[in-house]
Amino acid sequence: MSTDPIERVMRGLYSVALYLLAPITVYHLIWRGLRQPSYFLRWQERYAFYAERPEPPTLWLHAVSVGEVNAAVPLVNALRRSRPDLRLLVTTITPTGSERVQALWGKDVSHVYLPYDLPGAVSRFLTNYRPHAALIMETELWPNLLFGCRDHGIPALILNARLSERSLRGYRVLAPLVARALRTVRTVAAQSHADGERFIRLGASAEQVVEVGNLKFDVTVPENLAEFAALCRSHAGARPVWIAASTHEDEEMAVIAIHRRLRSIFPDLLLLWAPRHPERFRMVADTARTAGWQVSTRSRAQWPQPDDAVFVIDTLGELMSFYACADVAFVGGSLQAIGGHNLLEPAATGTAIVTGPHLHNFVEIAQRLQDAGAVRVVEDAEAVREALEELLRDPQARERMAAAGRALVETGRGALARTMALLQPLLPPVP
């Protein structure tokens, strides 16, 4: 335990505040559960009560939700290949993240929800799983969790670390505490020089921060991508296709309006629609039907039919494959201040990309794609429609963008090898 009296006081005040707010976590789970019933399940894990205690050695990786799980795929697969003797524990916070972990690796990795940042829950979690190291993806800076790793002698690393200016400002209230917690971390493996500088501004030392690149560039393209796309096209028929990917609730009416305008120009145009959150799957399909279109879904029809105007992708883990089925992609979370979503997946599949202006979670990636000519970043929904129309009319422009995106992804690879090199000294000897 720390002998720093200032740290003890700050941790004490922070923890008291969390315990006072603990009843709100129950209301939060109930409120989310009314929209997504899986939030009603496995509450004991949220407070770190477990029926079993696994045998070591365990390597623990935390990925908050689907995006972070997807970013961790190359790393988890590399660890499984190189160290099959290690038990891998992957934690998430959201049920969709949990479902993605189970879809990717099934019982080959363990999964529980990360507990709330209450000191008792953190201690129970770390005592139960006794991880050899803690690998925390991107920007999960929970003070009691980081202090708990130090107090239990568990080296912690922040991998694929990113920190936007907006997130940096968000930590302002807890900055003195977060800075101390951050200095307990063994290494901050930053995605970019700018991310590393922001972690230093938050409180990390320059010696802690290493620029390794973005693991998302090491994305694995599905082996059967061409066959999947050809099969989808054979069912849908020979016609233009666009995809609205990772859209949020406030973007849905814009997608409806865009599709209506585009179908007035391309009457047989098909929209593949993948809402960001599973609780929106049914609502999106119903909204499209109310708009007067024939709609089918992945879970029921498997493939879009020739008369479909909209095909809703209401499954997890297939978005990348469906990108390859589209002529052009709109990536959501960008017409409102969400911060955007992964632009590298459509780039890796060779799909021209259009996105809105709110990209603060992917500033560097968006800029690199824009500089390469692989993405069009536009200001609003009307500009999205105009860009989609232009690209649907111009197959040569789409191909140039697709080629630029694939090339950029290939040249950006390498973060996985550098990250694995950082981990090797921390892993237990091979038995």
Q: 303 — phi, psi (to 5°)?
A: -135, 150
How many whole angstroms separate alpha carbon 19 and alpha carbon 13? Answer: 10
Residues noted as catalytic: 68
How many whole angstroms separate alpha carbon 276 and alpha carbon 246? Answer: 4
How many whole angstroms separate alpha carbon 381 and alpha carbon 253? Answer: 10
- Look at residues 77, 132, 82, 125 and name the one whose alpha carbon lies nearest to residue 101: 77
Question: For strand 328-331 and strand 352-355, is the pairing parallel, antiparallel, or unpaired?
Answer: parallel
Residue 57: asked if its preceding bond is cis (omega within 30°), the reply is: yes
HSE-up of 273 (CA within 13 Å, CB side)? 34
**CA 110, 113, 114 angle in degrees (round to 5)?**
110
How many whole angstroms separate alpha carbon 150 and alpha carbon 79? Answer: 23
**CB neighbourhood size of 413 (10 A):** 15
